[in-house]
A and B are shown apart, each in its own frame.
Chain A
Amino acid sequence: MAMTLKRKNPVDLIFSSITALASVTVILFIIGIIYVLISESSLSIEKFGIVKFLFSTEWNPVKEDFGALTNIYGTVLTTVLSLLFAIPVAIGIAIFVTEIAPNFLKGPIGVAIELLAAIPSIIYGMWGLFTLSPIMSNYIEPLLKKATANIPLVSILFQGTPMGIDILTASVILSIMIIPFTASISRDSFNLTPAVVKESAYAIGATQWEVVKNVILPYSKLGVFGGVVLSLGRALGETMAVAFVLGNNHRISTSLLDAAATITVTLANEFAEADNDVYLSSLFYLALVLFVMSFITLAIAKFFLLKAERKYSR
C-alpha cells in the first residue's frame, strides 16, 4: 500500500490519504461506541452477569433488578412479524413497477415509495397512535379475534382485549416503514435483469407470471435478499415509530394483542429519567445487547450473500 502511494503524484497522494482517513474514522467510531457501551454497562454486567441478564424477565427499576429477555423477545417478534408483512407487499410493488405498470405509472409510484422512506419515524409513531391504533382496536383486531376464535393454537395469538396498543399494531407500522427499502432495492435489482433474456423468454411463449418466476426472480434474488437484510436492520433499530404503540410493557405474552417492549422502545422511554446508576448501566447493557444482535444478523446475512455470490458467479 505504502509503495503504491509513493509512486503517485502529490495530488493523488493527498486524495487517497483523505479517503483512507475517512474510512478509518468509521472504524474508530465503531470501536469508540463499543468501548462506551461496555464501559458504561460494566456496573450492570458485574451485577447481573451475562446469562442471568439475557434470560431474566425481570425489569423493575424500583427494586433495581433488570433482565433483557422481555426486550429481546419484543424486538425479535416485532421484527419478524413486520418482515412477514412487508416482504410480499414490497416484492409485489417491485414486480408491478418494473414489469407490469404502464410507463406513465412507473414514475409516480417510484416517487411515492421514495417519499414513504423519507417520512421521519416520529410521524409514523404519531400517526400510529392517533390513526392506526383506533382502527386496529375497533375494526381489524376484533375481526381477527372472531375469525380465529375456533382455531386451536391460532386463537392463542389473539387473546385479550383489543387495545390497538400491541405487538400487532407495532409490527404493522414497522412493516409500512420498511416496505420502501425492500421495494426500491428489489426494483433496482429487477431492472438489472438483461432485457435479452427476458425477451427470449417471451419469444418462446412464456407468460408474464412465468417470466417473473423463472427469469427475473432467480436473476435478482441476491438483490432482493440484500433489501430484506437492510430492512431487517432498520426494523431491529427502529425506535420512535413503535415507541408510541407498543406500551413498553416488560412482560412476555403469547398474544399479539398484548403490549410489549423492544430494546429501543425501552431505551427511548426510560433513558431520560433513569436516575440511579444500576438502572442507567442496565440501559447501556441493553443497547450493547442490541448492538451484538445487529452485528450477528448482519454477519449472517453477509455470509449468505457472499456464499450465494460465489455460487452465482460460477
Chain B
Amino acid sequence: MKTIFRLALIAALVFTFAQVEAAEMLSGAGATFPYPVYSAWAYDYNKVTGVQLNYQSIGSGGGVKQITARTVDFGASDDPMKPEDQTKQKLLQFPAVIGGVVPVANLGNVKPGQLKLDADTLCKIFLGDVKKWSDARVTKLNAGLKFPDGEITVVYRSDGSGTTAIFTNYLAETCPAWKEKVGAGKAVKFPVGIGGKGNEGVTNYVKRTANSIGFVEFAYAKQNKLVYIQMKNKAGNFVEPGFESFEDAAETGDFDAKKGFYLWLTNAPGKQSWPIAGATFILLAQEKTGVNKQTVKFFDWAFTNGDNKAKELVYVPLPKSLKDKVRAYWKAKGIQ
C-alpha cells in the first residue's frame, strides 16, 4: 500500500511539472532543411529563457498541413506559400533562414570553383542536350580548362525536396525549354540521369561517378569539399557560392511584406547574387495572437543572437535589411 501511495505521489508530481512545462512550450513542425539550425537556436533560447521549443522535422508538406489544421504553434516550409493561399488558410508567413543550392561536379582534376556555367548550359545539361563535357557550349565558358571526353552523368534527388524545388524553379525561370518539358516542383520527372536519396545520396553518387554533375545544399558541398560550379547570375557576373553571394541575393531579392514575403529567391538581380537561393519560411495561424507573440519572441531572439550559430552550421542568416522588413511585418500584424 505504501508503495502505491508513493507511486501516486510521484505521478502527481511529474504531472504538475508537466503542466508547468506545457505552459512554456512552443511546438513547431515542418521542413527538414532548417531543422539543425532551429534546434540549435532552441537549445540556446531554452538556456536563456527557459522556454522549450519542440520542432518536428516532418517535411514542408506536413508542416503546412499541421499549421492549417492548427495542431502546432507554427509551421515551417521550404516553399513560399502564395498570398492568396495565406489569406484562404488565414496564415501569416515570414522567412527565417536563407539556403543556397549549389551545382557540383566530378571532373577529373578540375578543382572546386574552377568550372563555370551559365543558366542555359546548366539547363541543357540537365535536359540531356549537352551530353559531354567537351561540348562547345561548356568549353567556350571555360577557356583553359581541360575536359574529359566521357558522357555526363546527371545526378538528381530521388526524393521530394525543397532543394529540388529551388533548383527546378531556377531552371524553369531561366530556361523556357525546361519550363515546357519538365516544370518546377519538389519532385519532377528529370529527363536524364540517376536519382540519389537525400543530399547525402547525391553527394555520394557525384563523388563516386566520373564526369557527373548534381546539385546539393550549400552545406553539403562545403563540408564534403565537392567541386562546386561558378554560376553566371542575372547581372552577368560569375559568382561563387558562399555566405556573401547568398546574402546579396537575399538583400536584392524582392521580398514584399504585403505578399507575406512570397518569393522564389532564384535569379536575384544583385551584382554578387548567387542565382540559386531560397528562403525557408515560418507559418503562423492568424488568430492565435498570444501564441504567435511567443513564437515571434523566439525568432526575434534568434535574429539578434543566432547569426553566428547559423553560420557555424553553414546556414545563411537573413541580411539586416530583410530582418528589419520582417520585424516591421510582425509589428504591423500586432504580434510583436
Contact = CB atoms under 8 A, between A and B. Distances in A.
Contacts of B204: 129-130
Contact of A61 (B59, B60, B160): B160
Contact of A274 (B61, B162, B195, B196): B61
A269 interface: yes
Contacts of B54: none
B135 interface: no
A129 B201 contact: yes
B185 A61 contact: yes
Classify the secondary structure of B's interface with A: loop
Nearest to B208: A134
A269 B158 contact: yes
B161 to A, nearest CB: 6
Interface string A45-70: 00000000000000111110000000
Nearest to A270: B160
Contacts of A273: 59-61, 159-162, 186-187
B128 interface: no
Contacts, number: 89
Interface residues of A, number: 31
Contacts of A201: none
B32 A272 contact: yes
B208 A61 contact: no
Interface in B265-283: none
A244 B197 contact: yes
A137 interface: yes
B112 interface: no
Main secondary structure of the interface of A (DSSP, over half): loop
Interface string B168-179: 000000000000
B205 to A, nearest CB: 7
Interface stretch (A19-27, A108-116, A202-210, A246-254): A246-254
Contacts of B263: none
Interface residues of B, number: 31
A61 B188 contact: yes
A303 to B, nearest CB: 37
B102 interface: no
B134 interface: no
B60 A62 contact: no
A243 interface: yes
Contacts of A165: 194-196, 205
A165 B161 CA distance: 20
Interface in A234-250: 243-244, 247-250
B281 to A, nearest CB: 13
Contact of A272 (B58, B188, B194, B209): B58
Contacts of A163: 153, 194, 205, 209
B189 interface: yes
A273 B185 CA distance: 10
Given A61-B160, A269-B160, A248 B197 contact: yes
Given A61-B188, A62-B189, A275-B61, A270 B197 contact: no
A284 to B, nearest CB: 13
A172 interface: no
B197 A272 contact: no
A167 interface: no
Contacts of A129: 201, 204
A280 B62 CA distance: 11
A61 B195 contact: no
Interface in B188-202: 188-189, 194-197, 201
A26 to B, nearest CB: 28
The winner among A129, A137, A250, A273 for most chain B CB atoms within 10 A is A273
Nearest to B200: A129
B296 interface: no
A59 to B, nearest CB: 7
Interface in B202-227: 204-205, 208-209
Interface string A242-286: 011001111000000001000000001111111100011000000
Contact of B160 (A134, A244, A274): A274
A63 B179 CA distance: 12
A61 B164 CA distance: 13
Given A270-B160, A272-B160, A273-B59, A59 B189 contact: yes
A8 B159 CA distance: 57
B187 A61 contact: yes
B184 interface: yes
Contact of B158 (A60, A248, A280): A248
Contacts of B209: 163
Contact of A249 (B158, B182, B187): B158
B188 A62 contact: yes
Interface of A: 59-63, 129-130, 133-134, 137, 161, 163-165, 243-244, 247-250, 259, 268-275, 279-280
20 contacts: A60-B189, A61-B160, A61-B185, A62-B189, A137-B208, A165-B194, A244-B197, A247-B195, A247-B196, A269-B158, A269-B159, A269-B160, A270-B160, A272-B58, A272-B61, A272-B159, A272-B160, A273-B59, A273-B159, A280-B61
Given A165-B195, A243-B197, A247-B158, 13 more contacts: A62-B183, A247-B194, A248-B158, A259-B194, A269-B187, A272-B59, A272-B62, A273-B59, A273-B61, A273-B161, A273-B162, A274-B186, A275-B61
Ranked 9 nearest A-B pairs via Cβ? A272-B59, A273-B160, A248-B158, A62-B183, A269-B159, A61-B187, A273-B186, A247-B195, A275-B61
